[in-house]
Amino acid sequence: MQKVIVTFPEGKHKVLTMSYDDGKIADRRLVQIFNKNGIKGTFHLNSGLLGEGDRLPAEEIAELYQGHEVSAHTVTHPTIERSPNEQIVEEVFEDRKRLEALVGYPVRGMSYPNGSFNSRIKQLLPNLGIEYSRVVQSTGGFGLPDDLIEWKPTCHHKRDLLQLGQQFIELHKQQYLYMMYVWGHSYEFDNDNNWELIEQFCEMVGGREDIWYATNIQYVDYMNAFRSLKFSASREMVFNPSAASVWLQVSGRVVEAKGGTTTSLL
């Protein structure tokens, strides 16, 4: 009997994803650090505040975040838990439209402004084209998210970042999938005068063969592609209706199920 489990791309069992809010000019330095170490970030922006104060101008967004993900954070950063539905709809949907006009691809994710959300807002978001939204409550662990509309990160970068990074590196049991998810605001490194913290972390965890470096939406898309796979009853073959490859561990072997094809698992 075939034993089939999903892995991350190329058979990897760990994923690192980074999430930073507000689009301040300190993102320029943070993106440089990510790029140097091969790390992917998701950047949640308020389209209505771009160019104000120390926020990045709209004309810089597409180039700066190329290779990363631009995600929604509402137009004006209100405490949406206290807002009527009509305002929430406008804040989220308009933010998507404005950001999409800048980056040229669908914006499908979000982080909650001021960490504000409730069950009413969670129910609204999928109808507004939002497939995930990050909260600020952290788990301190490396499990995969159970609820993408209430996506809990591992930690804020101020909270035991290097210690957790070392623990993440040392995880080796391949019967599990692990995620390290770090969030924060880039301007905090200026405020705290500790850019060496994120530099040391990225140097430590970057460039490792057993880690998949992904944006938030890349993780979401990959797991959705896995769930869309069509297995034969015997699990001797699988059809992948998506465009992207999905990697499986089949009785100990790593098998690539290429997009749009049927793959033998024997």
**Whether the predicted pLDDT of 170 surpasses 90:** yes
Mean pLDDT of 252-259: 96
DSSP code of residue 56:
P
Mean pLDDT of 149-157: 98
Q: pLDDT tens, 16-70? A: 999 999 999 999 999 999 999 999 999 999 999 999 999 999 999 999 999 999 9
Cβ atoms of residues 266 and 248 within 8 Å: no
Q: What is the CA radius of gyration of the chain?
A: 19
Please state, in angstroms and rounded to a whole number, the distance separating the CA atoms of residues 122 and 232: 35
The per-residue pLDDT for 167 is 98
Q: Pick the closest to residue 105 from 129, 88, 122, 134 (CA basis).
A: 129
DSSP strand E in the chain: where? 4-6, 14-21, 41-45, 69-72, 109-111, 132-134, 155-156, 178-184, 211-213, 230-231, 237-239, 246-250, 253-257, 262-264
Please state, in angstroms and rounded to a whole number, the distance separating the CA atoms of residues 57 and 25: 9
**Mean pLDDT of all residues belonging to the chain:** 97
The per-residue pLDDT for 2 is 79
Q: How many helices (H) and strands (E) does the chain have?
A: 8, 14
**Whether the predicted pLDDT of 221 surpasses 90:** yes
Measured CA distances, 196 to 40, 105, 234 (Å) = 18, 33, 52
Mean pLDDT of 136-148: 98
Please state, in angstroms and rounded to a whole number, the distance separating the CA atoms of residues 180 and 39: 12
**Whether the predicted pLDDT of 1 surpasses 80:** no
The per-residue pLDDT for 157 is 98
Mean pLDDT of 169-175: 93
Please state, in angstroms and rounded to a whole number, the distance separating the CA atoms of residues 195 and 210: 26
Domains present along the chain, CATH in parentheses: 13-224 (3.20.20.370), 229-264 (no CATH)
The per-residue pLDDT for 70 is 98
Mean pLDDT of 175-189: 97
Please state, in angstroms and rounded to a whole number, the distance separating the CA atoms of residues 245 and 11: 12
Q: pLDDT tens, 188-199? A: 999 999 999 999
Q: pLDDT tens, 57-110? A: 999 999 999 999 999 999 999 999 999 999 999 999 999 999 999 999 999 999
The per-residue pLDDT for 136 is 97
